[in-house]
Chain A
Amino acid sequence: MSAWSGLLGGFAAAVSPVNLLWCFIGSVLGTFVGVLPGVGPTPAIAMLLPITSYLGPVPAIIMLAGIYYGSQYGGSTTSILLNMPGEISSIPTCLDGYQLAKQGRAGPALAMAAISSFFAGTLSLVGLTFFAPPLAEVALMFQPAEYVGLMVFALAVVVNLSGKSLTKGLISGGFGLLFTAIGMDSITGEQRMTFGSLEMLNGFNFVVAAIGLFAIAEILVSVEEEVGQVAMMKIGKLMPTLRELWNNVGAMIRATLLGFGLGMLPGVSPAVTAFIAYDTEKRFSKHPEKFGTGVLEGVTAPEGANNSATSGGFVPLFAFGLPSSSALAMLLGALMIYGLQPGPIMWQQNPLFIWTVIASMYIGNVMLLVLNLPLVGMWAKVCEIPYSILCPTVLIFCAIGAFSVRGNVFDLWVALIFGFVGYGMKKLSYPPAPMLLCMILGDRLESSFRQSLVLSGGSFSVFLTRPITAVLLALAVILTAASLVARRRATAPSVLVEGDPNY
């Protein structure tokens, strides 16, 4: 069955009223979950798994998939309006999005986030439709050594996120890596820096840390500044100008390709791709020093990338039944509850199922665009809610979010403490983004590093002799060097905006 005929058959099935309904429900839920700081698609899918017993497999998977990619649409909202990311993959969006909002351009920022998400989401689905099997093979070529190369490459991004002081960025990142080392060493089982505490054995989860570092810290800082209302900025115009749209097309295309390619690799979450996309866009830009002060591309790139990464994630899932992130692992679980095995058997025996889900994803993206654009006006109203009401409600959602990650009450303390740490960091101009990026990458970096050494028998040369690894490491070095040179060259006073938002 060719891809075209399969897809058309899928569309025919996907437009049935039941499937459309559940696609809509999934998209709305996903957006909602994305907006809420802390609660992400993973716990949402986990919580809704029981419902799947009442639905048939097709509507259930359509809905759960809708939650997954829908959440990447919603994450940008609070990032732009409140400087609090709704999803980890929207942290880079805070950097420029919030600045845009402060300049009264929240409308175009929100709209651009939605448009970019739609563009990238839809375009990457084309990749999923036509190129899934061969791409899945490429994903298989990534072995531990390649992951080390990839993680180091991602770490090179830290330099660009460091703002004015590289030292501060490195401290932030260094502590981030350190936090991942705390807990039970996954390879030897020994306890590291746990001080004998049972709770510390778990280590810190980066979602919980993000809630503290970004949401709680932001609240503490705002309270101190006696922010009366979030809408000290007017929403102003609701859409970007046509000129701006045109200028962002390049960013959208780059974000799509980057997100889709990286999203396919197991363990590379939409969050990591969003960071890399932001960084890449900064390098491609003619005015990199403006990033962090309110550049629309700084919103377009990460938002597009995190959406195309979700499509990328479905490539190995449908081709081999291998999930590349925890949310997809749960989706896989839902499939298995129905006794469905994604993979070659499904392509042979039940291809209509896969095509229906893919077709519904196209539809879902359209639904989400239609949902999110007019919502921009609604968010304007939400901003008029006094901070005194917004503050506790956000905090309560943060508590729920922190708890939902691991079902662990200790995580509430972790979020709180990271909140205080984040407050200190904001006051002293230490960028929180490197800390979080390193917390996401740290575990995988270390375990891949040690696995590579086991495989190579202790020889470090493996990192230079394997082609993909060597290329990635070389890129990391080149990019870091380029960033350092660019920092030297950046003229200091005239570019810095008052308050130095980029720390």
Chain B
Amino acid sequence: MRREDLIVAVLCLATSAMILVESVPYYFTERGGLGSGAYPCYLALLLAICGVSILVQWFRGNRKTDTPPFFPRGRGRKLLVCTAGSLVAYRVGTDLLGFTFASLLLMIYQMRLLGHHRWWTTLVLSFVFVALVAYTFREWLYMALPRGFLGL
């Protein structure tokens, strides 16, 4: 078990407690049958046992303290953060700017971030790919992909 697993153990126990609080009142229906809270209660129990199991394993000495850090240092971390950030921006952008435009921006950004392609290549590939994809799914297959305020 790593140090981070302890966090998971705490998470399990916390989730378990939260579920129990929410679900125990609904365990039975008014008529006495099993209500909507029964199943979550059992799940909460399972998660609690697992959380405890991790803690038990940790304190029994099954621990690894020489593992690499969770988030890597250096360039890898920068790439990770930027990529993850671009995904969040993409999601928000899909609502604001519409699917087509947001996809375009995503592709341009990632091609530059991950591959340092020349601007010409980046723009051409992005335009062509996104246009093709949007056209196929929007016009031929009538998929109602979100349109932003630009109508794209």
Residues of chain B from 13 to 49 with CB closer than 8 A to chain A in the complex? 15, 19, 22-23, 26, 29, 32-37, 39-40, 43, 46-47
A220 within 8 A of B: yes
Question: Complex: how many Å from CA A395 to CA B103?
Answer: 9
Taking a contact as CB atoms under 8 Å apart, the answer to whether B103 and A399 are in contact is yes
The secondary structure that dominates the A interface is helix
Chain A contacts for B145, CB-based, 8 A: 400, 403
A1 within 8 A of B: no
Q: Would B40 and A396 count as touching, CB distance under 8 A?
A: no
Contact B15 A178 (CB under 8 A): yes
A389 and B125 form a contact (CB under 8 A)? yes
Q: How many residues of B contact A (CB 8 A)?
A: 65
Q: Interface range on chain A: under 10, 10 to 19, 20 to 34, or 35 or more? A: 35 or more
Interface assignment of A91: CB less than 8 Å from any CB of chain B: no
Produce 1/0 per residue, B84-125, CB < 8 A to A: 100110110011000100010011001101111100000001
A348 in the interface, Cβ–Cβ < 8 Å?
Answer: no
- B36/A216 in contact, CB under 8 A: no
- Whether A170 sits at the interface, judged by CB under 8 Å, is yes
Are B12 and A171 closer than 8 Å at their CB atoms? Answer: yes
Residues of the B chain whose Cβ atoms lie less than 8 Å from the Cβ of A393: 107, 129
CB-based contact A223/B137 at 8 Å = no
Cβ of B50 within 8 Å of any chain A Cβ, yes or no, is: yes
Query: Which residue in A225, A430, A453 is a CB contact (below 8 Å) of B33?
Result: A453
Residues 58-73 (chain B) with a chain A CB within 8 angstroms: 70, 72
* Cβ-based interface call for A289 (8 A): no
A110 at the interface (CB under 8 A from B): no
Q: In the complex, are the beta carbons of A226 and B36 less than 8 A apart?
A: no
Does A375 touch B at the CB level, under 8 Å?
Answer: no
Q: Are A416 and B5 in contact (CB under 8 A)?
A: no
The answer to whether B84 touches A395, judged by C-beta atoms less than 8 angstroms apart, is no
Q: Are A167 and B90 in contact (CB under 8 A)?
A: no
A187 part of interface (Cβ distance < 8 Å): yes
Partner of B79 from the list A177, A223, A427, A454 (CB cut-off 8 Å) is: A223
Shortest distance between the CB of B69 and any CB in chain A (Å):
10
- In the complex, what distance in Å separates the CA atom of A412 from the CA atom of B87? 10
Taken together as a complex, chains A and B put the C-alpha atoms of A185 and B46 apart, in Å, by 20
**A399-B103, A403-B143, A454-B33 are contacts. A392–B19 as well, Cβ < 8 Å?**
no
Residue from B8, B34, B111 within 8 A of A392 (CB atoms): B111
Contact of B43 (CB < 8 Å), options: A174, A223, A416:
A174
- In the complex, chain B residues whose CB is within 8 Å of the CB of A396: 103, 106-107, 129-130, 133
B90 & A389 in contact (Cβ 8 Å cutoff): no
CB neighbours of B113 from chain A (8 A)? 388
Which stretch in A97-105, A121-129, A188-196, A257-265 binds the other chain? Answer: A188-196
Asked if A47 contacts B142 (CB within 8 A), the reply is yes
Contact B76 A224, beta carbon cutoff 8 Å: yes
Give A170 to B79 CA distance when docked, in angstroms.
32
Shortest Cβ distance from residue B135 to the other chain A in the assembled complex, whole angstroms:
12
Q: Give chain A interface residues in 413-429, CB to chain B under 8 Å.
A: 413, 416, 419-420, 427-428
- Chain A residues near B76 (CB-CB < 8 A): 223-226
Contacts of A48 in B (CB 8 A): 141
Q: Which of A170, A175, A225, A392 lies at the interface centre, i.e. has the most chain B CB atoms within 10 A of its CB?
A: A392
Given A178-B43, A388-B111, A412-B91, A224 contacting B50 (CB threshold 8 A): no
Alpha-carbon separation in the docked complex, A216 to B95 (Å): 20
Give the residues in chain A near B146, CB-CB below 8 Å.
Answer: 403, 409
- Alpha-carbon separation in the docked complex, A50 to B140 (Å): 10
A450 at the interface (CB under 8 A from B): yes
**Given A399-B99, A400-B145, residue A412 in contact with residue B94 (CB < 8 A):** yes
How far apart sit A450 and B31, CA to CA, in the bound complex (Å)? 14
Contacts A178-B43, A223-B79, A399-B94; A188 near B29 (Cβ below 8 A): yes
CB of A407 within 8 A of chain B? yes
Distance in Å from the Cβ of B142 to the closest Cβ of chain A? Answer: 7
Query: A224 vs B114: C-alpha distance in the bound complex, in angstroms?
Result: 10
A190–B35 CA distance with the chains assembled, in angstroms: 10
- Collect the chain A residues with CB atoms within 8 Å of residue B72's CB: 224
Cβ–Cβ contact A388 & B19, under 8 A: no
User: Bound complex: CA of A362 vs CA of B90, how far in Å?
Assistant: 43
Residue of B8, B34, B54, B143 touching A404 (CB-CB under 8 A): B143
Q: For residue A455, give the distance in angstroms from its CB to the closest CB of chain B.
A: 12
CA distance A407 to B34 in the complex (A): 33
Among residues of B, the one whose C-beta sits closest to the C-beta of A44 is B141
Chain A residues with CB under 8 Å of B111's CB are 388-389, 392
Quote the shortest CB–CB distance from B127 to chain A (angstroms).
13
- Indicate if the CB atoms of B35 and A171 lie closer than 8 Å: no
Contacts of B95 in A (CB 8 A): 409
- Give the shortest distance, in Å, between B4 (CB) and chain A (any CB): 6
Complex Cα spacing A449 to B95, Å: 40
Binding site for B on A (CB under 8 A): 47-48, 50, 167, 170-171, 174-175, 177-178, 181, 185, 187-188, 190, 192-193, 216, 219-220, 223-226, 386-389, 391-393, 395-397, 399-400, 403-404, 407, 409, 412-413, 416, 419-420, 427-428, 430, 446, 449-450, 453-454, 458
27 A-B pairs with C-beta separation under 8 A: A171-B8, A171-B47, A171-B50, A174-B43, A174-B46, A178-B19, A178-B47, A181-B43, A188-B35, A192-B37, A193-B22, A220-B80, A223-B114, A387-B114, A388-B110, A389-B115, A389-B117, A393-B107, A393-B129, A399-B90, A400-B143, A400-B145, A403-B143, A409-B94, A427-B4, A428-B70, A458-B32
Could you list 9 further interchain pairs (A-B, Cβ under 8 angstroms) beyond the known A190-B26, A397-B133?
Answer: A171-B12, A174-B50, A223-B83, A224-B80, A389-B111, A392-B126, A395-B106, A413-B91, A428-B4
